[in-house]
Structure 1
Amino acid sequence: MQAIKELDSQLSVFESLESEVRGYIRSFPTTFVKAKGSMMWDVNEKTYIDFFAGAGALNYGHNNSKMKEKLINYIAEDGITHSLDMGTQAKATFLTCFNEVILKPRNLEYKVMFPGPTGTNTVESALKLARKVTGRELVISFTNGFHGMTLGSLAITGNSFKRHGAGVSLNHSVAMPFDKYLGEDVDTVDYLERFLEDNGSGVALPAAIILETVQGEGGLNVANADWLKRVEEICRRWDILLIVDDVQAGCGRTGTFFSFEQAGINPDIVCLSKSISGYGTPMALTLIKPEYDIWAAGEHNGTFRGHNLAFITATEALTYWENDDFTKEIIDKGLLVDEFLHELVKKYPELEGEVRGKGLFRGIACGVEGLADKICAQAFERGLIMETSGPKSEVFKIMPALTIDCETLKQGFAIIEESVKNSLTN
């Protein structure tokens, strides 16, 4: 009883002292005190299975033991924490390891930029650089894309609620229909190409085209590999830079380290954040083809772009990618999720459900308005953390740590099914 009173008291602190802009606490109304792997605990000692993974920032689970040990040792030895973009051993080690473990085996050549600590920082730097390289202003994005909450990133984000929060006009961008946005039978690449080649379209030649290969916040919309290749071909033909926003879909979420690997495309700029640090510590990278790395020294900067604690954990995270075992493990677990979701849609036709996603980045789009939110709320009451996505919050999304064990995964499945059943009957 005392713990429950303490919980209520702490929630009232957030209500009275924290801004109304707070979001996730409204979906998960408790005070968390501990987390390990794929489990979290609140002040009332209630246990939760985490199918949210910090919105994709915790691909290796909470307090990953190997990373924690490296981090504790580094702090204990008075390792550099903050360094702007000065040279540190931690940064040199990360850069070397990232090049050897990630880039070289994939035949990718990129210069690494540290733009600031968050996903929107890497997107902003990519947009700025594309405009600097080409001398053009316009950027083409896609319907239901999500790229961040600062003004440049918001201008290429589709969600109307988020866009309205800007308070100013969002310019220099045009949204084109994503793959299958106009239905299975409409080739949206043809649509895009027609706008570019027609002088009467009103669409200027852009500096860049930016896309997510899987639109996480937009509703788990997966772009077909051929569609991605054709977008790349358009970029090459028209001298447009191709930017892939891999902030949420990258770092193994779809199975491979980069989400675009299976499509065989080679973006000019890649945006990474969320799980690149491995531990949930803030970190972002902008990967730039060397010929486009034309920044003047200090032309784009930020106080927290040299976060050495993140370099330490990020380097350790790369050990998961030294061979193909981790990719195979993610794909196998993803197929388990896919099988469960298809069975759920078949068993409960009242969901009016459509299975979406890829790798450990999957969910069900519910045809009944408000149902996905209801299912997530029921799941939370039963001890599972899961969020919705899509323009109408119509998709409940399964996005656990990539390191989750199959037993915990199946325990989560059972909670979801109970939540679905309860939501449909009450």
Structure 2
Amino acid sequence: MASQQLNGSKNLDTFDRLESNVRGYCRSFPTVFSSARGATLVNEEGEEFIDFFAGAGALSYGHNNPALKSALIEYLAGDGVVHALDMSTSAKRTFLQTFDEVILRPRDMSYKIMFPGPTGTNAVESALKLARKVTGRHNVVSFTNGFHGMTLGSLALTGNSGKRAGAGVPLNNVTHMPFCDFLGTETDTIAALERYLMDSSSGMDLPAAFILETVQAEGGVNIGTRGWLEALAELANRYKVLLIIDDIQVGCGRTGPFFSFEPFSIQPDIICLSKSISGYGLPMALTLMKPELDVFSPGEHNGTFRGHNAAFVTATAALREYWQDDELTRKVNRNARTVRDALLDIAVDHDAVVRGRGMIQGIEFADHSIASAISKEAFKRGLIIETAGPNDEVIKTLPPLTIADELLNRGLKILGESTAAVTNVPVCVN
């Protein structure tokens, strides 16, 4: 584990001198990492850190997962095609067939698969363009505290004022409506949204789509309830509005099932995936659409790196290794209870609220300064954990889904000790 007084920051001069001021996470975790395996990162001084961050959710199967790494090494050693734009390759075909056989067919889902570009915001941008092209409408409804990416279309959907300010231009063609319990548990936000849709004097143009995360990760681990999500889907169907689920951070098993919306009676028109879809941290994104929505002309939406074949290889390996049965889902559900119990132990004496699903859970403190202080203290003690929410008021647990029980428990113990150190209130995490 890392020492109390971290030594790794002494080698940061090169980054300070040459890298842009826009860099962010490296300021929260000021050391130089040199290797990683599973749920552990190691810096240049040989100090180990338990990873409760997992590449912001891009490493659901951990760092350098052996099954994925061996598939990638074999492919590269055989001079497999790495870059091919959107040309047909054996790696792409194998991924498409595997995704269909392992994910879509068992769930009785019929979707066409688009490779929009390598990142999550590419998936969102293509979903927006597609929804507007299909419906002929310009407006899109997104929800308070949502986060969908940093390019202009995605940023227009995003609620966070700090991130929106970076655009430098007006962010238009989006109406922001309250997410689930944003106005309190007594307010029916679906009824309010419907009132806007049905009243021609509301000022809201009939939208092309609703876009949402079932769990708002960056927004503070806010949960869409079953009733709210299913009512929204029914509303979308009734008003012929497309439903886009952004499953970029909470898909690929983060909440337990492969898709976060699986427990609910929801059939999205469009689904956005990225982050852990490659399984290895390699850039990859998918936009899934119902077949009747596949109306783009050839080349109408493209990108140089939409054919990242190395990512196809690791994504295929991940699907075969983890999604041909429900073992990983069962592990996520077991570990989710462990995490929740630990967070509730912390919350009970700290005027805090715990919320989340599966292996994305958070604890929100009434004193908004506490979460960032805990993150810094945890780093000193050998735990990487980030904050979320509009005021960084939530500590967000996001470990690899495959984390060993012993490491998970040790990380939760560090989190409890860090909270106690910051607040001077003892915490007992079993």
Aligned residue number for residue 209 of structure 1: 210
* Cα distance in structure 1, aligned partners of 2:6 and 2:284: 37
Asked if the contact 2:120–2:248 (Cα under 8 Å) also holds between the matched residues in 1, the reply is yes
CA 1:213–1:8 in 2, change beyond 3 Å: closer, same or farther?
Answer: closer
Q: Which residue of 2 aligns with 1:388?
A: 387
Q: Match for residue 403 of structure 1?
A: 402
Q: Which moved more, 1:212-221 or 1:328-337?
A: 328-337
| Secondary structure of residue in 1 paired with 2:12 | helix
**8 Å CA contact retained: 2:6, 2:380:** no
Which letter does structure 2 place at the counterpart of 1:335? R
**Is the contact made by 2:36 and 2:42 (CA closer than 8 Å) also made in structure 1?**
yes
The question of 1:250 aligning with 2:251 is answered yes
* Paired position in structure 2 for 1:42: 43
- What is the alpha-carbon distance in structure 2 between the residues aligned to residue 362 and residue 49 of structure 1? 17
**1:264 CA drift (Å):** 2.2
For 1:263, what is the secondary structure of its paired residue?
A: coil
Q: Distance between the aligned counterparts of 1:66 and 1:369, measured in 2? A: 41
- Residue 133 of structure 1 deviates from its aligned partner by 0.1
Q: 1:8 to 1:255 in 2, by over 3 A?
A: closer
Q: 5+ unaligned residues in a row in structure 1: which ranges? A: none
Residue type matched to 1:311 in 2?
A: F
Mapped partners of 1:10, 1:168: distance in 2: 37
For 2:6 and 2:228, locate their aligned partners in 1 and report how far apart those are by CA, in whole Å: 54
Residue correspondence of structure 1 range 2-401 to structure 2 within 5 A: 7-8=8-9, 10-319=11-320, 320-346=322-348, 348=349, 351-401=350-400
- Displacement after TM superposition at 1:8 (Å): 4.5
SS of residue paired to 1:35: strand
C-alpha distance in 1 between matches for 2:9 and 2:168:
35
Deviations 1:334-380 (A, max 9, x none): 1110111112112x2xx210001100000101110210000000000
Report the secondary structure of 2:142's partner residue: strand
CA contact 2:209–2:242 (8 Å) conserved in 1: yes
What is the distance in 2 between the residues matched to 1:5 and 1:404?
A: 24
TM-score, L = length of structure 2: 0.96
| CA distance in 2 between partners of 1:191 and 1:207 (Å) | 18
Count of residues paired in the alignment: 420
**Considering only aligned residues, what root-mean-square deviation do their CA atoms show, in Å?**
1.2
TM-aligned CA deviation for residue 425 of structure 1:
2.2
How many angstroms apart in 1 are the aligned matches of 2:361 and 2:148? 19
Q: What letter corresponds to residue 52 of structure 1 in structure 2?
A: F
In structure 1, C-alpha distance between the alignment counterparts of 2:228 and 2:423, rounded to whole Å: 36
Q: TM-score, normalised by structure 1?
A: 0.97
* Fraction of identical pairs, as percent: 56
Q: Distance in 1 between matches of 2:181 and 2:206?
A: 23
CA separation of 1:5 and 1:53: change in aligned 2, threshold 3 A: closer
- Contact 2:364 2:393 survives alignment (8 Å): yes
- Equivalent position SS for 1:13: helix
Give 2:170's aligned amino acid. Answer: S
- Does structure 1 conserve the Cα–Cα contact (< 8 Å) formed by 2:8 and 2:30? no
CA distance, structure 2, for counterparts of residue 8 and residue 105 of structure 1: 49
Report the CA distance shift for 1:203/1:58 in structure 2 as closer, same or farther (over 3 A).
Answer: same
Give deviations 1:258-308, integer Å, cap 9, x for gaps.
Answer: 000011200000000000000000000000100000010000000000000
Distance 1:179 1:404 in 2: 31
Which piece of structure 1 moves more, 318-327 or 294-303? Answer: 318-327
Q: CA offset at residue 77 of structure 1? A: 0.5
- Match of 1:403, as an amino acid? T
Contact 2:271 2:289 in 1 (8 A): yes
State the 1:7 CA deviation.
Answer: 4.3
- Between the aligned partners of 2:424 and 2:403, the Cα distance in structure 1 is 31
Name the counterpart of 2:428: none
Partner SS for 1:186: coil
Paired with 2:167 and 2:18, the residues of 1 have a C-alpha distance of 24
Q: Secondary structure at the match of 1:261?
A: coil
SS of the residue corresponding to residue 262 of structure 1 reads coil
Instruction: Give the 3-state SS of the residue equivalent to 2:263 in structure 1.
Output: helix
> Within 2, Cα distance between the matches of 1:87 and 1:363?
42
Amino acid at match of 1:113: M
Structure-2 separation of matches of 1:298 and 1:228: 34
Residue 81 of structure 1 aligns with an amino acid whose one-letter code is V
Residue deviations 1:93-137 (CA, integer Å, cap 9, x gap):
000000010001111100000000000000000000000000000
Cα distance in 2, alignment partners of residues 36 and 53 from structure 1 = 11
Shift of 1:5: 12
Is 2:218–2:388's contact at 8 Å kept on the other side of the alignment? yes
Unaligned runs of 5+ in 2: 426-430
Q: Secondary structure at the match of 2:339?
A: helix
Deviation at 1:15, TM superposition (A): 0.7
Q: Secondary structure at the match of 1:72?
A: helix
CA distance in 1, matches of 2:70, 2:263: 33
